[in-house]
Structure 1
Amino acid sequence: MTPRSKRILGKSIVVTIIAIVATFGLSFTARIALQMPIDWLSWVECTFIPILIGMPVGAYIFAQSETIQDTCDKLEKSYAELKEAHDRFTFVTSHDPMTGLLSRVEFIPRMDRKRDEGECDTLLLIDPDHFSSINDKHGHSKGDETLVRIAKALVYTTRPGDSIGRLGGEEFGVLLRDVRKEQAITIAENIRRHIEGGPWVKGQQDGVRVTVSIGGAEIPSGADAEDVLRAAGRCLFDAKQRGRNLVSFTYQVARLQNIAGRKT
């Protein structure tokens, strides 16, 4: 006998016993009140009628209850599996599979968050210097390893509330929440020095030195994400032109003043 059958039988027996006791109580009380005799037929009726009726009815009801419970359990399990699949799908679509950072489609909308008057975020664009030479000398697997290590360095050198994304290829973005240019420069320099001093491409006779160039731009209230990206991109290009392994905010002030002016 299966556990399910045992549960149904046990519950049916309990209900039947209760029905027998109740029938005896009601029948004998009524007979005494009406001064009717209590004979052997009364005992038979009070015993077998609840068994003949109560057992089948109880078994049917409890069987249906077990079926409903099994269905609910299956639905709950299916819902949990569906939610887990949805969470995995959401993570895959919003994160870069190699580094685990935010994807471009998830990172850019975060730049458009509503800011209070006078509140300002800062965008950093980080790009490895001479990255193609790593792939050429050491292979694409070492290039991927380098990107993963840069991603870890960005997570290590930023705050929990900041957003970090891989914007495409070897370019990374960091959105520093409620941080202005002066503090952002300090953070960017810390990122640059941390990456420059890190161990890279182990196990190679001609180890490669990895550095990054960083361009930054403030994001005042009302600024457009694409305009900020272009401003930070110009600063990144300036850092590359001036020798790489540099942080540049050269164009950000004038550029964003013009942006804010067009918005008002």
Structure 2
Amino acid sequence: MTPRTKRIVGKSLVVTIIAVVATFGLSFTARLALQMPIDWLSWVECTFIPILIGMPVSAYIFTQSETIQDSCDKLEKSHAALTEAHDRVSFVTSHDPMTGLLSRGGFMARMDRSRDEGECDTLLLIDPDHFSSINDRHGHSKGDEVLVRIAKALVYTTRPGDSVGRLGGEEFGVLLHGVRKEQAGTIAENIRRLIEGLPRVKGQQDGVKVTVSIGGAEIARDADTQDVLRTAGRCLFEAKQRGRNRVSFDYEASKLRIVTP
């Protein structure tokens, strides 16, 4: 006998016994009140009628109850599995598989959300120096190792509420929430120094020294996202032009505002 059957039979027996006792009590009380005789037929009626009626009815009810509960349990498990699958798909579509950072789409969505909320944030664009030569001299596997190291350094130097993403190729983005240009410059410099101080990546012939150039732009509340990216990109290009391994905030995002016709 399965546990499910045992539960149904046990509950049905309890209900049937209660029905028999209740029938005896009501029937005998009524007979005594009406001064009717209590004969053997009364005992048979009070015993078998509740059993013949109560046992099948209660068994049917409890069987349906168990069936409904099983269906609810299956639905709950299916919902949990569907939610888990949805979370996995959402993570995969919004995150870079190699570094675990936000993908470009996920990062841009964070930027749009931040702009809509009206916060004063700052965008940093980080790009490793001489990355193409690292791939050419030491292979793409070493280039991937450099990118993973940079990603870990960015996560380490930013706060839990900040957004860090890989925007494509070797370019990274950091969205510093509630941080203005002056404080963002200090954070960017800390990022640059941390990456510069990382141990060399073992190459085929010699170690690979990793440095990055960083361009930053403060995001005005009415700024267009693409304008902010272009401004930070110009600052990044300026840092490269000035010798690499440095931070540049030469362009102000506040100058790029949406002009209403």
Q: Which residue of 2 aligns with 1:8?
A: 8
- Separation in structure 2 between the aligned mates of residue 47 and residue 202 of structure 1, nearest angstrom: 89
Q: Which residue of 2 aligns with 1:209?
A: 209
Task: Verify: 1:135 aligned to 2:135, yes or no.
Answer: yes
Runs of 4+ residues deviating >4 angstroms: none
Task: Verify: 1:100 aligned to 2:94, yes or no.
Answer: no
Pair 261,53 (structure 1): closer, same or farther in 2 beyond 3 Å: closer
TM-superposed deviation, 1:98: 1.2
Q: Which moved more, 1:198-207 or 1:31-40?
A: 198-207
- Identical aligned residues as a percent: 81
Q: Which residue of 2 aligns with 1:184?
A: 184
Q: Which residue of 1 aligns with 2:52?
A: 52
Q: Which amino acid aligns with 1:111?
A: M
Q: Which residue of 2 aligns with 1:22?
A: 22
Q: Which amino acid aligns with 1:259?
A: L
Q: Which residue of 2 aligns with 1:64?
A: 64
Whether the aligned pair in 2 keeps the contact of 1:99 and 1:147 (CA below 8 Å) is yes
Pair 209,21 (structure 1): closer, same or farther in 2 beyond 3 Å: same
- Separation in structure 2 between the aligned mates of residue 236 and residue 83 of structure 1, nearest angstrom: 40
- Separation in structure 2 between the aligned mates of residue 46 and residue 76 of structure 1, nearest angstrom: 44
Given the two structures, how large is their TM-score scaled by the length of structure 2? 0.94
- Separation in structure 1 between the aligned mates of residue 22 and residue 137 of structure 2, nearest angstrom: 90
- Separation in structure 2 between the aligned mates of residue 15 and residue 150 of structure 1, nearest angstrom: 69
3-state SS, counterpart of residue 260 of structure 1: coil
Deviation per CA, 1:49-108: give whole Å up to 9, x if none: 111111111111111111110000000000000000011111111111111111111111
Pair 156,245 (structure 1): closer, same or farther in 2 beyond 3 Å: same
Q: Which amino acid aligns with 1:242?
A: R
Whether the aligned pair in 1 keeps the contact of 2:224 and 2:258 (CA below 8 Å) is no
Residues 73-222 of structure 1 correspond to what in structure 2 (within 5 A)? 73-112=73-112, 113-114=115-116, 116=118, 120-202=120-202, 205-222=205-222
3-state SS, counterpart of residue 229 of structure 1: helix
Q: Which amino acid aligns with 1:94?
A: S
Deviation per CA, 1:104-163: give whole Å up to 9, x if none: 1111132232355xx521110000111122222222222112111111100111111111
3-state SS, counterpart of residue 262 of structure 1: coil
Whether the aligned pair in 2 keeps the contact of 1:223 and 1:263 (CA below 8 Å) is no
Whether the aligned pair in 2 keeps the contact of 1:222 and 1:263 (CA below 8 Å) is no
Whether the aligned pair in 1 keeps the contact of 2:104 and 2:167 (CA below 8 Å) is yes
Task: Verify: 1:262 aligned to 2:259, yes or no.
Answer: yes
- Separation in structure 2 between the aligned mates of residue 84 and residue 257 of structure 1, nearest angstrom: 42
Whether the aligned pair in 1 keeps the contact of 2:218 and 2:254 (CA below 8 Å) is no
Q: Which residues of structure 2 form unaligned runs of 5+?
A: none
- Separation in structure 2 between the aligned mates of residue 41 and residue 164 of structure 1, nearest angstrom: 86
- Separation in structure 2 between the aligned mates of residue 10 and residue 104 of structure 1, nearest angstrom: 61
Whether the aligned pair in 2 keeps the contact of 1:154 and 1:191 (CA below 8 Å) is yes
3-state SS, counterpart of residue 217 of structure 1: strand
Deviation per CA, 1:210-242: give whole Å up to 9, x if none: 100101111111011100000010111111112
TM-superposed deviation, 1:261: 7.0
- Separation in structure 1 between the aligned mates of residue 7 and residue 72 of structure 2, nearest angstrom: 17
TM-superposed deviation, 1:177: 1.2
Whether the aligned pair in 1 keeps the contact of 2:121 and 2:175 (CA below 8 Å) is yes
Whether the aligned pair in 1 keeps the contact of 2:223 and 2:254 (CA below 8 Å) is no
Q: Which amino acid aligns with 1:114?
A: D
